[in-house]
A and B are shown apart, each in its own frame.
Chain A
C-alpha cells in the first residue's frame, strides 16, 4: 500500500502540499476512497487522505445552509438534515457499490468533486447548483476560499462551480457549504408497464407538456428492469417507465390524478407508495441495475438532450449487445457494453456526439481506462483552456494528475 498523508488541519494540509510542490511529488486525493476506480488511472505513489477533515461545522435549517468539513460522511449529513425535515435536493448518488465498496461510505468532498447528483437533477439541479462556498488548498500550497454562506451571492467568480466536478485536480477541499431544502411531505411513483424506449420518452414529453412536473423520470427496458426487484415487472415481464411525484400530499394527489389519466391510456399502471418509491429511486440513483457487472462490462454514462435519448440507444444497439436504462427523462442514459472493442468507445462517442451530448466511461478495468479517454475529449481550443485552468491552480501537477485528461 502506498504511503498515506492524513492531515487533520488546514496547516497540516498546507505543509503536505508545500512539500509535494517542492519535491514535485504527485498525490492521489481521497475521501473514503469509494470512487478511486472513477477516472483515468493515476500513477501517483502517495495518497492524500482527506477523511481527517470531518464534522458538520454549521447547520442553520431556517437559513437553508449547512457547512461541513470535506471528509464528513455524506450519510452523517443526510441524517442531520433529515432530522430537521430537510434534504440535499440534488439527491447525491452513492457510487461506492459500483466500485465494489460498501454503501454509505462516500464523503461530502468526494460527492462535490465528482458533481454527483440523482434523479431529481431535472427539477432541483445538480451538486454544482447547491454548493454555496468552500475552503480549499490549491496545488500552489495556498489555502483559499470562495463563495459564502448565503444562498444568493455573485461576489467574485463562481469558483464553487469550478471546483465542483473538478475531480480533485485543482485543489483539496477542506470545507464545503451547501444549500439544503425542505424535504417533500409526500412522495409517490407511478409505474407504467410495457412501453418501449421511444414510447416511454415520448410519454415523458407528454407529461411535461401537461404541466405535471415529475421529480424523477426514468425508463428501464425489460433487461434492466429485471435487475431491480419490482414485483410488477416480475409479474408482467415488461419494461417499466417510472414517474415520481413529490410535494405536499394535496399536490401529489392532484398531480397523480392527472398523471394516472395520461398513463392509463398507454398501458398497465401501478402506484408505488412512499417506501417502495424511495427504494426504487435510491436503487436507480446508485445505478443499481448495473452494480453486478463489475469486471465484465464497461459502464457508460451518456448525457444527451432528453428527447434524443432513445435515438442514441437505437443507433448503438444495432448489431451490439448492450444493456441500458434512462434517467432524467431520457437525458441520462446508462449503458453497459461488453469490454471487447475497447468497450465500444467509438460507437458510444459517435452516438452521443451526433446529438450534441457526451459520454463518460464510469466503470471499466484500469487498462481500458488507461487506453481510451474516460471523459469526453474536448475540442482543441477548449482543451487548451482546460489545461490553462489546471496549470493556474496546480502548476506542478501534484493533484490527481491525469485523472480527467492527460496532464489534467
Chain B
C-alpha cells in the first residue's frame, strides 16, 4: 500500500511542533515518545501499521481549531481518530503527520426527549448513547457490531451501519446536526435539532467523508422510542440459494424486517462455538430475521415470514421465546468477526454490496476464488440490503499469505462492482479500497468528489492518502477547460 512520501522538512520540525501543541492542549495531552506512539500505529485493519509523528488529544473545540490552524500554517498533515476500529485503514496514521485523537471528547452534552434527540461529543461510544437514554425507553438506532468501542464521531465519518439499519437507516439517516472544525481552523455548525438543515446538505456530505473534510467536534443524534416488542427467528436452509430466495420473497412480500442477516456454514460454526447461541449446525445457511413493533403485529409478521421460509424449503425454524433468547440469537452474529478470529490466525473482512438477486452467483464465484487462492472463506451478510462481509482466513506469518488474501479481497470487490454493486457498504474506502476506486468511478467522477475536498481542505492536509487513488492538486481541478470562442454554438432545438 503506497502512502504519500514522508516530508523530511516536517519531520525535522517535529520538536517545534510538539512544543506548539503543548502550548495549546497542555503537556499531558501530547504524545511524542516512541513507545507510546506505537499504541496508535494501526486501526481495525491491522495489516497496515505506521506510527504517527505525534499524537495530540484535545478536549474542547477551541483546541481542535487552534491545532488545525497551526498544522495548516506549518504544513503538517492531520489524521483524526476516534476509537480506531475502522476496518478500512481510515485512521491509519502518517509517519510525518499528527494523529488527532478525539477520545477526550467523551461527554453527553444534552439529552432532549421532547425533541427526541441528544447532543453528544464525538468521542462518546455508540453504545453509551443508548445506555444513557434507555431507561426512558429510547435508543440510538444504528448499531455497528463494534458499538461497545467505536465512537459516534467515527460512525459519522464512516457513515456506519449495523444489523438494524435495514429498517432504521444508517448513520446519515439518524443524525440531525454537527459541529465541524475545518482545516483552516474555522468552526461551522450544520443542521441542529430540526429535521432539515438549511442550504447545501453539508451535513450529508460530512457523513461518510472518512475524516477528509473536517474534524467533527459535536453530533446531534436522533433518538427513537424502543418498540414495544422485538422477536427474532432463526431459519436454516440446506443451500445458500434457497436462503437468498427467501430473503427476496420476504421483501417482495412487502415486509421490511428490523434486521435480516445471513451466515454461511463456516461462520455459523465459528459463531456457535464462540457464543453458544443455539444455532443449528446441520445447515448450509442461516437467516436471523428480527421483527419489531406491537405484540400482535410482530406475531403476525413472524407467522408470515415462517410461511414464506417453509415455502422456500427451510429445514429449521426457531423463533425467540423471550428477550434473553433474542439477544442470544444476535450475540452469535454480532461476534462473528472475533469468532472467526479464533478459528484462524488472521482474517481479512470485506464489505461489498451487491444487488441481492445476484447473491447465489456471487457466493458461487467466491467459492471458486477461495479454492484458487487456497484460502478459506466465511460469510456473514446483511442480507436485507445486500451488504456482504466475506471473511478471508489467512495466516500473516506464512510468507505471501497476506498478499494472497489482499488479492483475493480485491477480486471479491471487483466482482461486487461487476454485478452492479459497490466496493463498500459501511466500512469505508480508507487506504484499503483506495486503489480500487477506478473500478467503480471514472476520472470525472473522482475529480468531482475531489472538488468537494478542495472546497473543504484546499491544501489536502486532512487525512491524505485515503479514499482517492490519485490526489490532484486543487488548482488543477479548478481549471476550466474551455476557452471562449473555441466551442461552436451547439446545434440544438431552440425556440
Contacts and interface: CB of A to CB of B under 8 A. Distances in A.
B492 A115 contact: no
A217 B257 CA distance: 24
B121 interface: no
Nearest to B493: A6
B115 A150 contact: no
B196 A248 contact: no
A332 interface: yes
Interface stretch (A220-228, A277-285, A292-300, A303-311): A303-311
A248 B165 contact: no
Interface string A198-228: 0000000100110101000000000000000
Given A62-B357, A121-B195, A254-B297, A385 B188 contact: yes
A41 B433 CA distance: 44
B195 A144 contact: no
Contacts of A305: 112, 115, 117, 192-194
A64 B190 CA distance: 30
Contacts of A152: 161, 165, 170, 353, 382, 385-387, 425-426
Contact of A392 (B294, B427, B455): B455
Contact of B444 (A143, A328, A388, A393): A143
B188 A122 contact: no
A contact patch SS: mixed
A142 B482 CA distance: 11
Nearest to B161: A152
A140 B481 contact: yes
A126 interface: yes
A248 B484 CA distance: 61
A143 to B, nearest CB: 7
Contacts of A356: 192-194
Interface in B426-446: 426-429, 433, 437, 440-442, 444-446
Given A146-B445, A205-B114, A61 B252 contact: yes
Interface stretch (B270-278, B315-323, B415-423): B415-423
Interface stretch (A26-34, A157-165, A317-325, A338-346): A157-165
Contacts of A161: 172, 201, 203-205, 207
Given A151-B385, A161-B205, A144 B225 contact: no
A286 B455 CA distance: 35
Nearest to B454: A392
Contacts of A332: 195
A360 interface: yes
Contact of B209 (A15, A157, A386): A157
Interface residues of A, number: 100
Given A142-B447, A154-B424, A22 B492 contact: no
Contacts of B454: 388, 392
A286 B449 CA distance: 34
A185 B487 contact: no
Given A18-B487, A152-B353, A185 B254 contact: yes
B471 interface: no
A115 B427 CA distance: 27
A137 B478 CA distance: 16
Contacts of A183: 254
B435 to A, nearest CB: 13
A188 interface: no
Nearest to A137: B444
B225 to A, nearest CB: 5
Contacts of B495: 3-4
B429 A156 contact: yes
Nearest to A255: B294
A331 B297 contact: no
Contacts of A63: 355-357, 386
A85 to B, nearest CB: 6
B297 A392 contact: no
Interface string B282-302: 000000000001111100110
Interface string A62-79: 111100000000000000
B452 A162 contact: yes
A392 to B, nearest CB: 4
B contact patch SS: loop
B200 A22 contact: no
B311 interface: no
A209 B200 CA distance: 32
Given A3-B494, A382-B188, A360 B441 contact: no
B208 interface: yes
B195 A148 contact: no
A304 B427 CA distance: 33
Interface bin, chain B? 35 or more
B441 A60 contact: no
A6 B490 CA distance: 11
A3 B294 CA distance: 58
Interface string B345-359: 000000001111100
Contacts of A144: 442, 444-445, 447-448
Interface stretch (A92-100, A103-111, A263-271, A371-379): A371-379
Contacts of A59: none
B194 A358 contact: yes
A325 to B, nearest CB: 16
B205 A376 contact: no
B107 interface: no
Contacts of B172: 129, 158, 161
A74 B479 CA distance: 36
Contacts of A126: 195-196
A234 interface: no
A162 B205 contact: yes
Given A4-B495, A62-B252, A254 B204 contact: no
A182 B254 contact: yes
A145 B445 contact: yes
**Residue among B387, B428, B448, B485 facing the most chain A CB atoms (10 A cut-off):** B448
B194 A357 contact: yes
Given A16-B490, A303-B195, A211 B228 contact: yes
B224 to A, nearest CB: 9
Interface in B193-219: 193-205, 207-209, 213
A155 B198 CA distance: 25
B225 A125 contact: no
A288 interface: no
B248 A62 contact: yes
Interface string B454-495: 111000000000010000000001101111111111101111
B20 interface: no
A393 B448 contact: yes
A389 B214 CA distance: 14
Contact of B492 (A12, A21, A209, A381): A12
A15 B490 contact: yes
A80 interface: no
B374 interface: no
B137 interface: yes
Contacts of A369: none
Contacts of B447: 142, 144
A378 B487 contact: no
What are the nearest 3 A-B pairs in CB distance?
Answer: A161-B204, A182-B254, A305-B193
Interface of B: 112-117, 137, 158-159, 161, 165, 169-170, 172-173, 182, 186-190, 192-205, 207-209, 213, 225-228, 248, 251-252, 254-256, 293-297, 300-301, 353-357, 382, 385-387, 420-429, 433, 437, 440-442, 444-449, 451-456, 467, 477-478, 480-490, 492-495
Given A62-B251, A154-B170, A166-B201, 4 more contacts: A144-B442, A165-B201, A181-B256, A331-B195
